[in-house]
A = this chain, B = another copy of it.
C-alpha cells in the first residue's frame, strides 16, 4: 500500500516553483504576485488566507492582502476587485469564500478577469476546462490530478467513483477524470445525496474520490481490494486532547479502508497541502501568461 504523500509532493512542487522564481529574478523578469481579498473576520477564512500569503513568501512571490470590513457593500467589493484587475503588477486574484450575505458570490466571481482567476471559479475557466482548453483549474481538483500524475497512478480505462457533486471539487473532478488525457480516460460515476446505493457503486470502483464532507463516511466494506482512494474531506471534529480543540477528519475511515488500498491519501497531509501548492502553480502560470497568451497567439 502506497501513501500518496501530499505534504512531500507539495513541497517538491513548491521547490520547483521557487526555483523558477529564482530564475525569473535572475533574468529580471516579472515576479509573480497574488492578491487575496478577505471580507470580515471568519476564523477559518483568516487562517486560509494567511496560509496562502505565507505560501507566497515561501516560494518568492509577492502578495497583497486586502482586508475589508464585515459590512462591506457589494459595490465596494466589486470596485476593489476591479482595481486589482486593472493593476498590472498583480497576476492572480482570489476572493476568500464564504462572503457575507449582502454580497453576490456570482457577481464577484464573474468580475474577476479570467486571466487573473487563479482559483479557476470564473465560468470562462470552468467552460474552458470542460472543453479541454488551457485554463486555470480549481486548486483542489488540480492538486488531486498532480498527485495521481506524480505517483503515476494508472487511470486509463479504470472505474472511478466520485462521491459529492460540489462546484469546486466533485463536479470538476468528474470532468477531469473522464476526459481524454492522462490522468483521465476513466469511466466516471458521480454519486451524491440522491444516489440510492453508494456502496453498490464504490464496490465496483478502481478509484474512489470522496468529497462529500462527512467524516469517516467511506469504510472498508465499501471498497474492493487494490482500490485507489483519494480523501478530499477535511472536517474539524472536536478533540479536547488537542491544544487547538479539534482534529481534522477525512471522509475516509482510514483504519478500515487503507488495508485494502493500492494507494491512499492521508488526512491531514494528503489533498490539503496539494491544494495550497496548486494555487501557487496557477499564480505562476498567471505571471507567465501561460493560458490566455498562448490562445491569443498560437492555435
Interface positions of A (Cβ within 8 A of B): 104, 106-107, 110, 122-128, 130-133, 156-157, 165, 167, 171-172, 174-175, 178-180, 185-192, 194-196, 201, 295, 299
Contacts and interface: CB of A to CB of B under 8 A. Distances in A.
Chain A interface main SS type: mixed
A130 B126 CA distance: 7
Contact of A165 (B125, B165, B178, B189): B178
A212 to B, nearest CB: 13
B106 A299 contact: yes
A107 B187 contact: no
Q: Count chain B CB atoms within 10 A of each CB in A124, A165, A190 and give the residue with the most.
A: A190
Contact of A127 (B124, B156, B178): B124
A194 B201 contact: no
9 contacts: A107-B299, A110-B295, A123-B131, A125-B127, A126-B126, A126-B127, A127-B127, A156-B194, A185-B192
Each complex incorporates copies of this chain amounting to 2
Given A178-B190, A187-B192, A187-B201, A106 B123 contact: no
Given A126-B130, A130-B172, A187-B194, 12 more contacts: A104-B299, A125-B127, A127-B127, A127-B130, A130-B175, A131-B167, A157-B195, A174-B174, A174-B190, A185-B192, A187-B195, A189-B189
A275 to B, nearest CB: 20
Contacts of A167: 130-132
A190 B160 CA distance: 10
